């Protein structure tokens, strides 16, 4: 099995950088259903562009390359111990090459192992089968969407939907509720895998197995097939939209599986996956270790440009120009006056220096000084993929992370350091909104997962602090130009996120009445 490690390496690179054909088609269907001139339409255009950039650059589609999870079927008699060693080696190499972000963090000390290895990471499931090939599949599911997974124990009382019993009706309500509670925070438009039954562990496992199904397959169980179709259609009426901006496209795929349960338990487990639905697989020759075939059609043949974009390049230029005219340039450091002139819906373009900061930094800044003056500064909720060579650090991928995690800290930190803008995704809560109003600051929503798109706006890495927090959590000082984002929370008390959340809660109630009786 000389080639096995190389084959696993190729599988990792392909998974991280080239979104497969079925996922691309689903995103394209979403684009066709959304009005291109809306905020959600704009977000989908950026997503489409980012998918092609990642493929061309052979760089991560999203900076969060997730929890590498391998599912391997091996012929009887294959040496799984050797395979595991090769998988580890391939993971280390892919991390060194910037195809995976170092994502394995000690839960007690916070120390990043730096190479994606550590207790419990990567995840590898082996299973024997009576076939000649090795079937190895990989999913890279990021942390933001993982945080939106949810498990229901029936019977339950669900917000907006009322009683959910131990039947298809109850299951239906749980799944709709799962999409609703994710809002835009898991980088909608998303895909969901649902596991009905099992125990708390196997229920989630079943849900994640569903994510390995082809998006266009048809469930062999007619009840579940109907439910899948119903959910896809109904979830898209919730009005959450891409990135939670509101709109027609909230869900791109729904796959449901069922297994037996204990008499006392009835779990419905939902695994939420962002649009950056990265999974691939290969059939491998058990003697040579070479790849015989890919298990999911490659995305390379599927263009992410709409027909009109391909045809009308002149019109596109005009559109671009118009968009440029509407944009507001924010040069850092930003004044309070400039911030006060902004309102929800404005598109801004940032020029100058911004500083990354996420969980570790926010906690630290609560009771420490900042390493530099942050008056008028922009904080970017981002954990980039970075590589170092003789010339210094380079950004390989740098999209936003879910901002709501910083809700306990953000308001205090804004005021303490005089920060004027926070960039992230998914929005923040009432405490931050109040601080934005009191202090004069804005929240800017960038497009989650568009890691190549934003990396291109970063012109220089000016420096870094807190490397001891690990690459994703360090405070990177980045020189940017043309970094576009949308004001979704302003300094006058308005929040697009609060509006969409309220509207979708009202829409959810429309699904209260029985459907499958």
Among 138-146, 192-200, 368-376, 430-438, the segment contacting ligand LMR (CB under 6 A): 138-146
Q: How far apart are CA 56 and CA 49, in angstroms?
A: 11
When asked if residue 186 is in the footprint of ligand SF4 (CB under 6 A), the reply is yes
Interaction pattern, residues 164-203, with ligand LMR; x per rule: CB under 6 A? -----------------------x----------------
Runs of H (alpha helix) within 38-102: 39-57, 80-96
Is the distance from CB of 474 to CB of 454 less than 8 angstroms? no
Q: Which residues contact 89 (CB under 8 A, 6 or more apart)?
A: 5
Is the distance from CB of 258 to CB of 224 less than 8 angstroms? yes
Interaction pattern, residues 448-487, with ligand LMR; x per rule: CB under 6 A? x---------------------------------------
Question: Token pair of 178, please?
Answer: 């799962």
Is 118 exposed, middle or buried, given 0-12, 13-18 or 19+ CB atoms closer than 10 A?
middle
Cβ neighbours around 76 below 10 Å, total: 8
CA dihedral (261, 142, 19, 177) positive or negative: positive
Among 60-68, 122-130, 249-257, 486-494, the segment contacting ligand SF4 (CB under 6 A): 60-68
Q: Which residues contact 13 (CB under 8 A, 6 or more apart)?
A: 58, 94, 97, 99
When asked if residue 102 is in the footprint of ligand LMR (CB under 6 A), the reply is no
When asked if residue 374 is in the footprint of ligand SF4 (CB under 6 A), the reply is no
CB of 65 to ligand SF4, least distance (A): 8
Q: Which is nearer to ligand LMR, 146 or 167 (CB)?
A: 146
CB of 318 to ligand SF4, least distance (A): 31
Q: Which is nearer to ligand LMR, 143 or 160 (CB)?
A: 143
Among 45, 210, 401, 495, binds ligand LMR (CB under 6 A): 401
CB of 390 to ligand SF4, least distance (A): 30
Among 116, 149, 250, 402, binds ligand LMR (CB under 6 A): 402
Among 449, 464, 485, 496, binds ligand SF4 (CB under 6 A): 449
When asked if residue 142 is in the footprint of ligand SF4 (CB under 6 A), the reply is yes
Among 40-48, 136-144, 160-168, 231-239, the segment contacting ligand LMR (CB under 6 A): 136-144
Cβ neighbours around 70 below 10 Å, total: 22
Nearest partner of 444 among 353, 373, 339, 365, judged by Cα: 339
Among 55, 64, 86, 473, binds ligand SF4 (CB under 6 A): 64
Q: How far apart are CA 451 and CA 100, in angstroms?
A: 13
What secondary structure does DSSP assign to 446-489, as a single string? --TT-HHHHHTTEEEEEEEE-GGG-TTTSEEEEEEEEEEEEEEE
Q: Which is nearer to ligand SF4, 227 or 397 (CB)?
A: 397
Within 64-83, which residues bind ligand LMR (CB under 6 A)? 64
When asked if residue 98 is in the footprint of ligand LMR (CB under 6 A), the reply is no
DSSP 215: T
When asked if residue 142 is in the footprint of ligand LMR (CB under 6 A), the reply is yes
When asked if residue 359 is in the footprint of ligand LMR (CB under 6 A), the reply is no
| Among ligand SF4, ligand LMR, none, residue 189 binds (CB under 5-8 Å by kind) | none
Q: How far apart are CA 200 and CA 247, in angstroms?
A: 33
Is 268 exposed, middle or buried, given 0-12, 13-18 or 19+ CB atoms closer than 10 A?
buried
Q: Which is nearer to ligand LMR, 174 or 187 (CB)?
A: 187
Chain positions contacting ligand SF4, by CB under 6 A: 62, 64, 66, 142, 144-145, 186-187, 274, 276, 399, 448-449
Chain positions contacting ligand LMR, by CB under 6 A: 63-64, 142-144, 187, 383, 401-402, 448
């Amino acid at each position: 099995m000389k080639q096995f490690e190389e084959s696993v390496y190729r599988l990792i690179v392909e998974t991280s950088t080239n979104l497969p054909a079925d996922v691309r088609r689903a995103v394209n269907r979403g684009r066709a259903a959304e009005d291109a001139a809306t905020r959600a339409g704009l977000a989908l255009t950026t997503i489409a562009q980012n998918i092609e950039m990642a493929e061309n650059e052979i760089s991560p589609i999203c900076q969060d390359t997730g929890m590498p999870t391998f599912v391997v079927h091996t012929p009887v008699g294959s040496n799984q111990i050797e395979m595991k060693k090769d998988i580890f080696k391939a993971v280390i190499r892919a991390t060194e090459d910037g195809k995976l972000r170092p994502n394995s963090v000690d839960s007690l000390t916070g120390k990043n192992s730096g190479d994606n290895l550590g207790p419990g990471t990567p995840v590898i499931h082996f299973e024997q089968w009576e076939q000649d090939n090795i079937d190895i599949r990989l999913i890279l599911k990021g942390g933001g969407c993982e945080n939106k997974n949810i498990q229901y124990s029936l019977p339950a009382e669900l917000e907006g939907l009322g009683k959910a019993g131990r039947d298809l009706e109850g299951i239906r309500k749980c799944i709709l509720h799962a999409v609703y509670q994710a809002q835009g925070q898991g980088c909608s438009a998303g895909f969901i895998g649902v596991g009905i039954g099992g125990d708390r562990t196997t229920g989630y496992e079943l849900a994640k197995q569903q994510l390995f199904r082809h998006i266009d397959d048809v469930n062999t169980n007619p009840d579940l097939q109907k439910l899948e179709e119903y959910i896809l259609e109904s979830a898209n009426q919730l009005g959450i939209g891409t990135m939670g901006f509101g709109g027609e496209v909230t869900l791109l795929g729904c796959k449901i599986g069922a297994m037996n349960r204990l008499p006392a338990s009835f779990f419905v487990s939902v695994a939420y996956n962002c649009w950056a639905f990265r999974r691939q697989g290969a059939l491998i020759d058990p003697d040579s270790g070479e790849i015989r075939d890919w298990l999911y059609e490659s995305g390379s043949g599927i263009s992410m440009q709409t027909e009109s974009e391909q045809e009308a390049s002149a019109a596109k230029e005009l559109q671009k120009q118009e968009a440029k005219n509407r944009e507001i340039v924010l040069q850092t450091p930003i004044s309070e006056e400039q911030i006060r002139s902004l309102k929800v819906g404005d598109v801004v373009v940032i020029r100058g220096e911004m500083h990354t900061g996420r969980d570790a930094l926010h906690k630290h800044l609560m009771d420490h000084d900042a390493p530099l003056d942050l008056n008028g500064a922009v904080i970017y909720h981002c954990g980039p993929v970075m590589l170092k060579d003789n010339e210094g650090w380079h950004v390989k991928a740098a999209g936003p992370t879910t901002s709501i995690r910083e809700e306990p800290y953000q308001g205090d930190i804004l005021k303490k350091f005089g920060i004027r803008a926070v960039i992230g995704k998914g929005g923040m809560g009432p405490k931050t909104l109040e601080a934005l109003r009191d202090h004069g600051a804005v929240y800017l929503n960038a497009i989650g997962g568009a890691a190549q798109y934003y990396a291109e706006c970063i012109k220089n890495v000016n420096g870094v602090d807190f490397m001891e927090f690990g690459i994703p959590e360090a405070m990177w000082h980045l020189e940017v130009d043309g970094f576009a984002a949308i004001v979704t929370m302003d300094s006058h008390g308005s929040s697009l996120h609060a509006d969409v959340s309220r509207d979708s809660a009202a829409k959810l109630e429309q699904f209260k009445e029985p459907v499958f009786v």
